[in-house]
Amino acid sequence: MIYLDNSATTKPYPEVVQSFQKVAEQYYANPSSIHKFGSEAERLLLQSKKQAAQLLKVSPEEVIFTSGGTEGNNIAIKGIALEHQSRGKHIITTQIEHPSVLEACRALESLGFEVSYLPVTETGSVRVEDIKASIRQDTVLISIMSVNNELGTVQPIREIGQVVHEYPKIFFHVDHVQGLGKIDMDFYECGIDLCTMSGHKVHGLNGTGALFVKRRTKLFPLHHGGGQEGAYRAGTENLAGNVSFVKALRMSMQQKATAVNKLRTLNERLRNRLAVNPFVIINSPSEAAPHIINVSVPGFKPEVVIHALGEKGIYISTMSACSSKRSDESAVLAACQLKEDRTTSALRISMSYQNTQEEIDMFASELEKVLAELNKVMG
């Protein structure tokens, strides 16, 4: 099997699964219980939070464990909007954000908020000057993803943070789900107030993740109850999941430090192979994140290509897994003003540090064969 759908989800590290199992079996007490067993669970929870903070270079009290990217984005966006609505009801984001950001914003619109959905360039990059021009007196939040989940485009987060810094009452949220473990991003230096992360994108388990909430940032909690996670996310903590997330985070960051150049080499090798395929147009910019390459195959139905590759044990995807069962057109590519024959025929190849040169070469060869065979049938 050749798995190239790592932007949808990654294969958990064996060590991550082992850590989950160990904690689930040995530390199953409620961390809020006052007996010794509960206190041991609480110590492990606090230790995990401290370790996550060290890896992210933030303070432990700024880390909120979550169930993943969708929940983190909702807590950040709705939490800021509802807490600070007396000061303003204007939010700025882009047209190519993850559905969990776009749908959260649309939900807030139904409550009377106004949202500016900014356009992007042909390569999927938001213009910093557009953000600056969109800021209003009643703007309370700017939400921009670090790496686009379909194109791999890296957004100018540092430059945006510098703009936001000029407006002390505006909060800056970054969806870092695709960027975590792939690109460098210092939360403090980039002026980020809230940052979303997901475990299953970094070889962790589904249902795990974290949200960075900068000190003195106030949110309206979406969950009320026992006051866990600084009262931002009430409910008994997923201790085993949290420990496994930190394990995955550590291992992925170690991989990034030692193998990111290998991933860039694989990316370049695949680009070179795809560039000579007469049926393929590469959509991702050359300076995109190293793990994602988006292409179009005009004239072919992407689902047919994906199923044909699947018969050969090769797995890629079309759009974001959260929107792949909707319209045939990629909303991201449409926002980039690409022609319809490209927006309706997109394929996403997403690699991990575990992929090899042999797998990349085999995929490129099999894709050539599949497209040539389908072309004959269609022709």
Q: Which residues are catalytic, by number? A: 322
Q: How far apart are CA 292 and CA 151, in angstroms?
A: 7
- Closest by Cα among 2, 14, 11, 7 to 357: 2
Q: How far apart are CA 270 and CA 280, in angstroms?
A: 12
Give the DSSP letter string of 6-52: TTT--PPPHHHHHHHHHHHHH--S-TT--SHHHHHHHHHHHHHHHHH
Query: Pairing state of beta strands 2-3 and 314-315?
Result: parallel
Q: How far apart are CA 317 and CA 7, in angstroms?
A: 9
- Give CA angle at 368 (363, 370), nearest 5°: 90
What Å distances lie between residue 5 and 207, 229, 306, 314, 317, CA to CA? Answer: 18, 32, 11, 9, 6
* SS3 state at 244: helix
Q: How far apart are CA 135 and CA 294, in angstroms?
A: 31
DSSP 65: E
Q: Widest CA span of the chain, in angstroms?
A: 73
Q: Which amino acid is at 20?
A: F
